[in-house]
Chain A
Amino acid sequence: MTVSQRLNGTSYLTFRKELEDRGIVFSYSGYLNEVILSGIGNALRTKMTIDQTDAKVSRAVFSTFVEQVQNVIRYSAETTPPVDEDPLHEVLDDDGEPTILPYGLVVIGEYPDGTRFVTCCNMVRSTDTQKLRNQLDSIRGLDRKELGALMRQQLKDGPPEGSKGAGVGFISMAREANGKWEYDIVESAKDDFDLFCFEAHF
Chain B
Amino acid sequence: MENIDIPSTARTPRLSLDVASRVFLLEGESYPEDTKKFYEEPVSHVINFLSRSHDGEVVARFKFKYFNSSSAKVLMDLCTALESSAKAGNQVLVEWHYVSDDENMKELGEEFSEELSAARFTLIEY
Contacts and interface: CB of A to CB of B under 8 A. Distances in A.
Interface of A: 34, 38, 42, 55-56, 59-60, 62-63, 66-67, 70, 148-149, 151-152, 155-156, 168-169, 171-172, 176
Residues of A contacting B: mostly: helix
A18 B75 CA distance: 43
Given A55-B101, A59-B102, A152-B114, 15 more contacts: A38-B11, A56-B103, A59-B104, A62-B66, A66-B31, A66-B68, A70-B31, A151-B111, A152-B76, A155-B72, A155-B73, A156-B80, A169-B70, A171-B69, A176-B104
Interface in B78-106: 80, 101-104
Contacts of B70: 70, 168-169
Contact of B104 (A38, A56, A149, A169): A56
A38 B68 CA distance: 13
Interface string B54-80: 000000000000101110110110001
A70 B68 contact: yes
Residues of B contacting A: mostly: helix
B40 interface: no
B20 interface: no
Contacts of B80: 156
Given A152-B111, A176-B104, A168 B66 contact: no
B76 A56 contact: no
Contacts of B112: 152
Contact of B68 (A59, A60, A67, A148): A67
Contacts of A42: 10
A32 B3 CA distance: 37
A151 B76 CA distance: 11
